[in-house]
Amino acid sequence: MAEVLVPIFFFISVVLGLLGPKYLRFKHEQRMKELESGQGGDAGQLKALMEERKALVEERKILEQRVQSLETIVCNVDFELNAKLQRLAVATQSIAALGPAPAQRAAVSAAAGEAESLIAGQVRPGQRVANRFVVVRLLGAGGMGAVYLARDEQLGEEVALKVVAGLGLLDPSAADRLRREASTARRISHPNVVRLHDLGEENGLLFLSMEYVAGESLAARLKRIGALPAAQLRPIAEQLCDGLAAAHAAGVIHRDLKPANVLLAGDRQVKIIDFGIARPLAESGMTATNMVVGTPEYMAPEQVRGGQVDARTDIYALGAMLYHALTGRPPFSAPSPIALGLAHCQDPVPAPRLLRPDIPLEWEALILRALEKDPARRFQSASELREVFRVSEAPTWHGPAPTVRT
């Protein structure tokens, strides 16, 4: 679909963005020359020309906005298909993990049974991997892989074993993402970033072993209990800032920060996980195949457009996560990922206190600052945001007033 839309986009850009305004400007210049040469111009005509010039400027602005919207749509055409494929893979991965009980198999539809053939890379409880890891149970599954609890007999401890599975077996870039995750995670050494142990391969099964964190994800907690009070969210936010600051100092942008990628070990420690699509600071926002990656509910406008990302892109995602944690929902909701992307690019962020009036004003100001569409108006680093928490019992912001929708 992207291959079809891109030529259309450029055609519209050229015709509407260039030819239309150029023609109107040409006619305008011709009439101005007529007036200057004294060919019948009067004050009324001059006024009409000034109005025409004003209309031309306004029309150009409208055309530019339309072109930007088309660009955003072109950059986001992959979201719809990717989201559906990942949901299918997660469902079939979970079905396969249940085992071959006849009653369970009877409930599986023909479509799901067909999709289950994609799970050739799955491992089973009790299976030994690389003559070192004994698989205990499935912890979770995504569109491109699965994570298992395993016993590392060399280290003598439990680890999380991440393998390429599901639709990842059909994606040539999935293995590269796992290798990149190993490479980027090794750059970061911090208590608030999950620790990586080893990367290995056995009989075509590519796996990554990492620190196992006993607890739940922030996504699971929000689903279980709903919105968090500010006092409970504060230590989570502080540790997220510390972990992000360490990643950014190592030259790594996470690019997919979301509640599902934050692990909570009880009420004491926070761990950032899943650097599978992380990139060094010097690289651009798009993948090699010009596909935008990330999670639409938490993506910054520059990431939605496939533009250059930096530490402030993660700051936006953190702001969206804090918004979700305090209000019980992300900043924007829409029926499709494309609509979500457009909302992040164009719509004002609803003030959190419109949803929950008991949210402290200081928290609202902090979150809205992190969610500014212009990166220059956000906090410029995770350390700067962390300092806001450090200097006050309640987070305060002394910069320019944030953009608010009332």
- Which residue among the candidates 78, 152, 242, 256 is catalytic per the annotation? 256
Cα–Cα distances in angstroms (integers) from residue 289 to residues 123, 124, 161, 173, 179, in the given order: 30, 33, 28, 10, 18
Half-sphere exposure of 73 (CA within 13 A, CB side): 15
Q: How far apart are CA 299 and CA 341, in angstroms?
A: 8
- The encoded tokens of residue 105 equal 């198999």
Residue 191's pLDDT band (cuts 50, 70, 90): very high
Q: In the chain, what percentage of residues exceed pLDDT 90?
A: 39
Please write down the HEC assignment for all residues of 279-312: EECCCCCCCCCCCCCCCHHHCCHHHHCCCCCCHH
Binding-site residues from annotation: 162
**CA torsion, points 161, 167, 170, 172, in degrees to nearest 10?**
-60
- The encoded tokens of residue 307 equal 């533009």
Under DSSP, is residue 22 helix (H, G, I), strand (E, B) or coil? helix
Binding-site residues from annotation for ATP: 162
Average pLDDT for 77-99? 50
Q: Is the pLDDT of residue 139 over 80?
A: yes
Q: How far apart are CA 1 and CA 388, in angstroms?
A: 45
To the query of whether residue 314 is one of the catalytic residues in this protein, the response is no
User: For 340-352, how does the pLDDT look when each residue is reduced to its tens digit (9 = 90+)?
Assistant: 999 999 999 999 9
Question: What residues have CB less than 8 Å from 385, skipping those under 6 apart?
Answer: 241, 315, 318, 366, 370, 379
Average pLDDT for 192-203? 85
User: For 238-247, how does the pLDDT look when each residue is reduced to its tens digit (9 = 90+)?
Assistant: 999 999 999 9
Question: What residues have CB less than 8 Å from 101, skipping those under 6 apart?
Answer: none
Instruction: Choose from 37-51, 87-101, 191-205 the range with maximum mean pLDDT.
Output: 191-205
Residue 55's pLDDT band (cuts 50, 70, 90): confident
Average pLDDT for 49-73? 66
pTM equals 0.68
Query: Degrees (nearest 5) of the Cα angle 325, 327, 329?
Result: 80
Q: Is the pLDDT of residue 173 over 70?
A: no
Model pLDDT, residue 136: 95
